[in-house]
Amino acid sequence: MDIRNNILETIGHTPLIRLNKVTRDLPCTVLAKTEYFNPGNSIKDRMALKMVEVAESDGRLKPGGTIIECTSGNTGMGLALAAVVKGYKCIFTTTDKQSKEKIDILKALGAEVIVCPTNVEPEDPRSYYSIARRLAKEIPNSFHSNQYDNLANRLAHYETTGPEIWDQTDGKITHLVVATGTGGTLTGTAKFLKEKNPDIQVWAMDPFGSLLTKYFRTGEADMNEVHPYITEGIGEDFVPQNYDMQYVDVFEQVTDKDAAIMARRIAREEGLFCGYSAGTALQGMLQLKDLLKKEHLVVVILADHGSRYVGKVYNDQWMIERGFLDVKTFKDLVAGRGASRLISLAPDQTVAEAFELMQKYNVENLPVLQNGDLLGAISESGLFARMMNNGLDIKNKKITEVLEKPYPVISFDTPLERLSSLITRENGAVLAKDDSGNYHIVTKYDVIQALGS
C-alpha cells in the first residue's frame, strides 16, 4: 500500500509540465516546475519544513513552542502545516498588500495573523520584519524562523528542488528561471544545478520597485530603487542572507502589469492556474527570448497557486481599476456610435407617442424622465405583454399607467463585460451620466455589436 503518515510527507516531487501555447514563438523547449502541487500549494512548503526540522535538531524549537515568521503568505502556509502535524503554535506578520485569501488560509490552519503596513522601511518598528523580531523576543519558547536569513531556506532547495529538476530533465536543463524574493529557491536550486553543470544559465526575475536587480549588477543596495509595487511574494527592499549572487547569471525586471497579464495567460492558454510571481517568471523569460536557441531546455518555476489571487489578478474589476486590462467601457460604446441625443419620454405622454418614437428611431427601450430625473422606463416587449393581457386599446393610456421599473444607472467607465451581465431579458438597457450630467443609454444591441467588432 502507498500510504503517507502525514501531510508533510507529500511535499516535493512536483511535476514538470511542457508549455505549449504561451511559448509557441520560442525556438526551445520550456518546462514548468509546478510547485503548487505541494500540499500548501506553493514551493515554500519545502523550505518551511526544512527550517522547522533544522531548528528542532539544534534545539531552537522545543516541544509546545511558537513559530513566528514574517511572510507574504506562502511560507506561513508551509510553517502552519508543519505546526499542525508537529504540535506548535504559529504567529505570522504580513503586509497589507497581500491577498485576503492568503490571510484567511493561514487563519484556517489555526495561525494568528498580524497585518502590518507595506510602505515602511524594514527597520521601521511598524514593519512586518520588526514586529516579528519583537514578538520573538517577548514570547517565551518561541522560534523566529526568519526565512530571509535562515540558510535552511536555500538548503531545502539544494537538497530537493535542484535534484528533482536535474533528474526530471535527465541532466539536460540549460536554463533555470526563478522569480525571486528571499533568495532561497534561486540560490539553493542554482547551486546544485551549477555543481552538476556550470554552463547552466540561471535567470532571476524581479519586480520593478525591488532593489535586487541593481544590487546584482552593481553590488549596491540602493534604497532609491525601492518603491511600492503590487506583485506579491517576490522582490525585496534589502538583500537577504540567502543570496549568493555567484550562482546567478542574469537579473531581469518585470512590471506589475505584464506579470499579471502573463499569469492570466498561463491559466487560459496552458490550464495552469498559478500565482502572480509565475507571471513574473515567464514574462521575464520572454523578455530575454533573443538569448534562447533551439537546443535549449528551459525550466521555469511556477511558485504557487492561483487560488491565492482570485480577488486580484484573476478579478477583472481589480485588473481594470489598475489599468492592467484594456477593455471597452460604456463610454467607448457611446462614443463609437457617434453623437446622438437620448430619446426619452415624459410621464404625461401617451403610449401612442411612445410607439411613434420607437418606430421613428428604431429603438425598443425608452427611459422616462421628468425634469432630468429618472422615473422609469418603457420597453417594446413590456408594451406588447400589456397588449396581450389587457387588450389592444392602450394607445391612449398615459405613460405613468404603463411605467416599468427604471433601467440601472451605472458608472460611465463600466466595462463591457459587466454590461453583459446587467442587460437581461427583463432589463433591456442601462444608463449612465457623462461629466456634464447628461444621461446616455446602452442596449443589448449595442453590446452585441461591440462584442462582434
* pLDDT, tens digit (0-9, with 9 covering 90-100), for 430-448: 999 888 888 999 887 777 7
In the residue annotation, 44 being an active-site residue is answered as: yes
Write the pLDDT tens digit of every residue in 146-199: 999 999 999 999 999 999 999 999 999 999 999 999 999 999 999 999 999 999
Task: Write the secondary structure of 314-374 as one string of H (helix), E (strand) and C (coil).
Answer: CCHHHHHHCCCCCCCEHHHHHHHCCCCCCCCECCCCEHHHHHHHHHHHCCCEEEEEECCEE
**Average pLDDT of the segment spanning 47-72:** 95
- With H, G, I as helix, E, B as strand and everything else as coil, classify residue 238: coil
Contact 441, 431 (CB under 8 A): yes
Residue 239: φ, ψ to 5°: -110, 105
Residue 383: pLDDT band by 50, 70, 90 thresholds? confident
- Does residue 339 register a pLDDT over 70? no
C-alpha cell at 116: 502590518
Pairwise CA distance, residues 368 & 111, whole Å: 56
Mean pLDDT of the chain: 92
Write the pLDDT tens digit of every residue in 308-330: 999 999 988 788 788 898 767 88
Active-site position among 44, 102, 191, 214: 44
The per-residue pLDDT for 453 is 53
Inter-CA distances, 424 with 196, 403, 405, 427, 444, Å: 62, 18, 14, 5, 8
The model's pTM: 0.76
Contact 42, 74 (CB under 8 A): yes
How many residues appear in the chain? 453
- Does residue 418 register a pLDDT over 80? no
